[in-house]
Structures are given as C-alpha cells and as structure tokens.
Amino acid sequence: MRYQRVGSGDIDLITTFIREAWKEAGPGALGWSGATQEDIAEISSPAFLRELAQDPEADFFVAKDGGKVVGMAVNRARSASEVELSGIIVMQRLVGRGIGSGLLMKSEEAAMARGAGRLKVKTEVENLRALAFYVGKGFRKGGESLERVGKVEVRTVVLRKKL
C-alpha cells in the first residue's frame, strides 16, 4: 500500500474511487449521510478534485494498491493551531486493513508540518465504527451539534487530538 499526496495524474483515479466507494457503501450509509447522486457527481468531478488538490489550505492524500486508489483523506487548515480532517474514505470491502490508519498518519504529519497543535474531525453520532477508530487513535470527544448536509439534518460529534 502506498500513501501519497495527490498529484495531477491521480484525479481521474479519485473520480472513479469516490463513485465506486459511494456505490459500494450505499446511499445513506454512515459517513455519507445526506449525500445525493448530485452531491457525489459534484465532489467526484475532475474540476472539483483539481481545485481541492491545488488549494493551499488543504492537504489531500490517497492510498493506492497497485495503480488503484482505495482510500483518501483531506485536511483543511482552520487556524494557525488547528487543522480539520474533512474525512477519511476507504473502500467498504477493505475497512479494517489499516488503510484508514495510514491515511490518518499522513494527515497528522501534514497538520504538524503546518505547525498545528490539534487535529479536529467530525462524524455522525451514530457512526460507532468511526468514533471507535478516532478514539482509539487518541482523539477525545467534544460537543455534539446538528448540521445540515444537503437536505438532511445530521447529528455530529466533534473529536480533537493534540499533536
């Protein structure tokens, strides 16, 4: 498994990955709450992904098995001291094989390289697998909030980790 920053040659691979990961998990799956076919079309579009890869406030990583993307993670700098992990996506059939851990490690390294002292992530309150993953990696639960994702309200919990 290779973990790397996204390059221009990865965009089409990521487009395919996002669409396959969403299809495999199923609409409405935890981690995808509120996402519609239109949302997936937008976030998997080459234009959106190129813009994200070139955003100076973002760090965008993929996990590759051979020449295929099987996971991704995106960070966004929110302040000088805190970076938000927008999320980690791994193909459903590969969950539990350490891919998410490898992507989290890259995300933490990138946050520290930016000088951040904390990494923050939000996930659905009901997403027990994600909560267990982050708590197991040293994150501490914070407050809950109700957020609108598309047309759906999702109850989320904020988790933070000191780096």
Q: Quote the domain boundaries for residue 47.
A: 2-120
Q: Is residue 21 included in any domain, yes or no?
A: yes
Q: Is residue 143 included in any domain, yes or no?
A: no
Higher pLDDT, 59 or 126: 59
Give the model confidence (pLDDT) of 13-49 as tens digits. Answer: 999 999 999 888 876 676 777 778 888 899 999 999 9
* Secondary-structure breakdown of the chain: helix, strand, coil percentages, each rounded to the nearest 5: 35, 35, 25
Q: Is residue 84 included in any domain, yes or no?
A: yes
Q: How many domains does the chain have?
A: 1
User: What pLDDT is attached to residue 28?
Assistant: 66
Q: Is residue 142 included in any domain, yes or no?
A: no
d(CA 142, CA 73): 21
pTM of the full predicted structure? Answer: 0.92
